[in-house]
Amino acid sequence: MALMITEECINCDVCEPECPNGALTQGDDIYIVDPALCTECVGHYASPQCIEVCPVDCIVQDPAHVESHDQLQTKFESLLGSAA
Amino acid sequence: MNDLSEQKQMGEVTTLYHDLKTWELNPGDQTTHAKRMPGFFRTLKNYTQWGLWLPFFLLPYLRWNGQQAILFDIQNRQFRCYNITVLPQDIWMLSLVLLIAAMTLFAVTSVASRVWCGYFCFQTAWTDWFTWLEEKIEGNPTARRKLEQAPWSLGKLRKKIIKHALWLLIALLTGISYSIWFVDAYDYWRDLLHFDLPTVGWVVLVLFIAGTYILAGLMREQTCFWLCPYARLQGVMTDAQTILPAYDTKRGEPRSKLRRNGEVVAPQGDCIDCFQCVQVCPTGVDIREGQQFGCITCGLCIDACDAVMDKIDKPRGLIRYASLDELSGKPVKPLYKHPRTLVYLGIILLAIGGIVYGLTHLGSMTLKVLPERQPLFVQMSDGSIQNKYAFKVLNKTGQDLHVKVSAESDIAGLVLIDAERQPLTHQRRGTTFTVFLKAPGYNITQAVTPVKFRVEAVEDPTVFAEYSSKFNAPPRR
């Protein structure tokens, strides 16, 4: 599952540099997650880094992009491949 | 500074603010990129800064009776403000003006901390302007930090060139606007556009361009930290009764991230450690560490915190203007029980009184009479006694005037020699001439007799001045 940021976001900018995939960008009102890039930190860390640092706990799993751990692992590897 | 390999733990400071944990204050090895957030104090600051820029840039163009309305005319040694012309002889009023300025700074700072620094200081206003431009060109702080670290490219070069060029343009306008407070604005522009300024004009202009560019563009908050004496001075003018932007430690601590699913493990304060207060701070300090010399008390952290509190449904004011007394739970004393402020106010009132007296008693002519001392008197062959006086007449009006001299005394038969002579006094200048008084010896009853001199303009009898002096004679037995 990719993650999404709810409207509780306070635009504090802490999540953005934490993301190993560069999936977080500042949107018009709040930060947004690019579901094509988010692996929920699978392949990088044990837990999603943005959730850990978010001071208002506004990052949740995106029901519109449900993915299994294996799918995320594949996404991570393909992202690595495209980056290389 | 950003050691990414370091193991991070839940609730610890994130890598973005890693340096803030180790440095209380940025000593200048990095640029502080403050975030801009709307809010009450942001708006207030905009108003006060416009209140600074508009008069600074526009007032010199104002005309009054065909002349520049406000002009510190150094060349002709006079200060002009509408109808009032202050000559160097009345410069004692300047010391009162400086006294008022200093005491106002003291009084305001004792009540509400560094109001000057946060809202009115040229350094703050120009830096704010420069960083606003920087944001327009290079983007928000995150984008700016990225751009800084990015390798040089055509795009980066273009942005940097535009930014620095605009900064220099502002610096040039600042230098020009400063200069035209001291020389006629239109004359200055004409000379400037003809590249015909005097050397001192060029030196001032170049110094101001360099100063504005370096202080507001490159040094920014470092100026407040390490260069400005007022920044340090004002710190000691505050006390427990002074209100200043402060973090309510009791309410905020222990700070921890908000967890919405309700798993509250430990008691939790209202501070969610989102670092917004630090991010918006133009000097990059953490207000939660308490009042510190880096804080210019601009209130922008209050705006940031209030916005976050609104968003997480907590009451505003976790960071607010509060006195140390209030925060430590002591009763808040009313202003009239703040003796320091009252003393400052008293001095201000005295100084204002002095200036009002000075301006209403400027007069249009002053007279000083110095009796000749060597010799004090001369005994003439006909037995009369003659005294010599040096007259110093200052004509403060805008026209050359002839003056009629007269003398008044108890001595019978006292005559002014060459009384019909009417010396010319030049406009706005001092004129010196000599006057002789003669009286028959037998009419003089004492060694020293008071005598009152008067000069009166022939062209305008309302312009006059008087001076009490003495008529000297040999000792009587």
Query: What would the pLDDT profile of B75-93 be if each residue is shown by its tens digit?
Result: 888 888 887 788 887 778 8
pLDDT bracket for residue B280 (50, 70, 90):
very high
Residue with the bigger pLDDT between B284 and B207: it is B207
- Chain segment B354-389, per-residue pLDDT in tens: 989 888 877 788 899 999 998 899 999 988 999 999
Which residues of chain A make contact with B301, given a CB cutoff of 8 A? none
**Cβ–Cβ gap B14/A56 under 8 Å:** no
Query: Average pLDDT for residues B419-431, to the nearest whole number?
Result: 86
For B230-259, what is the mean pLDDT? Answer: 85
What distance in Å separates the CA atoms of residue B133 and residue B274, rounded to the nearest whole number?
26
| Both tokens assigned to B123 | 């350094």
Interval B405-410 mean pLDDT: 91
Q: pLDDT at position B145, please?
A: 86
Band (pLDDT 50/70/90 cuts) for residue B303 is: very high
A–B interface: beta-carbon pairs under 8 A: 59
Contact criterion met (CB < 8 Å) for B308 and A10: yes
Q: Are A12 and B275 in contact (CB under 8 A)?
A: yes
pLDDT in tens, B100-131: 999 999 989 988 889 999 999 999 999 999 99
Q: Is the dihedral of CA B176, B180, B181, B182 positive or negative?
A: positive
Which residues in chain B have Cβ-Cβ distances shorter than 8 Å to A16? 142
Q: Distance between CA B333 and CA B323 in Å, rounded? A: 10
> Which stretch, B37-46, B248-257, B289-298, has highest mean pLDDT?
B37-46
Question: Given a cut of 90, is residue B163 above it in pLDDT?
Answer: yes
Q: Pick from A52, A53, A56: which is nearest to B312 by CB? A: A56
Under a CB-based contact definition with an 8 Å cutoff, are residues A55 and B274 in contact?
yes
Question: What chain B residue is nearest to A13 in terms of C-alpha separation?
Answer: B142
Query: The domain B365-472 is classified under which CATH number: 2.60.40.10, 1.10.3720.10, 1.10.150.120, 3.40.50.720?
Result: 2.60.40.10
Nearest to A17 among B16, B140, B273 (CB): B16
Q: Would you place residue A3 in the very low, low, confident or very high pLDDT band (cuts 50, 70, 90)?
A: confident
Instruction: Name the burial class of residue A73, with classes exposed (0-12), middle (13-18) and buried (19+) by CB atoms within 10 angstroms of its CB.
Output: middle
Q: What is the pLDDT of residue B24?
A: 56
CB contact under 8 A, A54 and B257: yes
Backbone angles phi, psi at B457, to 5 degrees: -70, 135
Residue B18's pLDDT is 52
The pLDDT confidence band at residue B2, using thresholds 50, 70 and 90, is very low
Our separate counts of H helices and E strands in chain A read: 3, 4
Would the pLDDT of B293 be above 50?
A: yes
Residue B15's pLDDT band, with cuts at 50, 70 and 90, is: low
pLDDT for B262 equals 63
Burial of residue B444 (number of CB atoms within 10 Å: 0-12, 13-18, 19+): buried
Chain B residues with beta carbon closer than 8 angstroms to that of A18: 14-16
For residue A55, give the nearest of B15, B140, B257 by CB distance.
B257
Is the CB of residue A56 less than 8 Å away from at least one CB of chain B? yes
Residue of A nearest to B11 (CA): A53
- Give me the interface pTM, i.e. the ipTM: 0.81
The amino acid at B136: K
Residue with tokens 């002579």: B421
Question: Is residue B4 scored above 50 in pLDDT?
Answer: no
The CA distance from B12 to the nearest CA of chain A, in Å, is 8
CATH number of A3-83: 3.30.70.20
Q: Is B308 on the interface with A (CB under 8 A)?
A: yes
* Token pair in block for residue B290: 């308490």
Contact B377, B473 (CB under 8 A): yes
pLDDT recorded at residue B10: 43
Nearest to B405 by CA among B365, B346, B378, B373: B365
Please judge whether B142 and A26 are an interchain contact, meaning their C-beta atoms are less than 8 angstroms apart.
yes
| pLDDT, tens digit (0-9, with 9 covering 90-100), for B317-341 | 999 999 888 888 888 888 888 888 8
Share of chain B above pLDDT 90, in %: 41
pLDDT at site B136? 92
Half-sphere exposure of B115 (CA within 13 A, CB side): 14
- Cβ pair A14:B10 closer than 8 A: no
Contacts 24+ apart (CB under 8 A), B350-353: B351/B96, B351/B97, B351/B99, B351/B100, B351/B103, B352/B100
Which residue in A65, A79, A13, A21 sits closest to A45, CA to CA? Answer: A21
Rounded Cα distance between B362 and B394, Å, is: 11
The answer on pLDDT for B26 being more than 50 is yes
> From the CA of B214, how many Å to the nearest CA of chain A?
29
Is the pLDDT at B260 greater than 60? The verdict is: yes
Q: How close A78 comes to chain B (CA, Å)?
A: 24
Residue B190's pLDDT is what? Answer: 94
Work out the average pLDDT over B129-142.
90
Q: Does position B417 have pLDDT exceeding 70, yes or no?
A: yes
The overall average pLDDT reported for chain B is: 86
Q: B310 at the A interface (CB within 8 A)?
A: no
Q: How far apart are the first and last CA of chain A?
A: 24
Q: Is the pLDDT of residue A74 over 50?
A: yes
pLDDT of B6 higher than 60:
no
Indicate the domain borders of chain B. Answer: 14-24+90-114+228-362, 33-86+121-219, 365-472
Do B159 and B185 contact (CB within 8 A), yes or no?
A: no
pLDDT for residue A63? 85
Distance from CA of A10 to the nearest CA of B (A): 6
Q: Which of residues 256-275 of B touch A (CB under 8 A)?
A: 257-261, 272-275
Range with top average pLDDT, A6-15, B132-141, B258-267: B132-141
- Considering only CB atoms, B257 lies closest to which of A16, A18, A57, namely A57
pLDDT at B7: 47
Contacts of A56 in chain B (CB under 8 A): 257-258, 260, 272, 274, 308, 311-312
Question: Chain B residue with minimal CA distance to A48?
Answer: B10
Helix %, strand %, coil % for chain A, to 5?
30, 15, 55
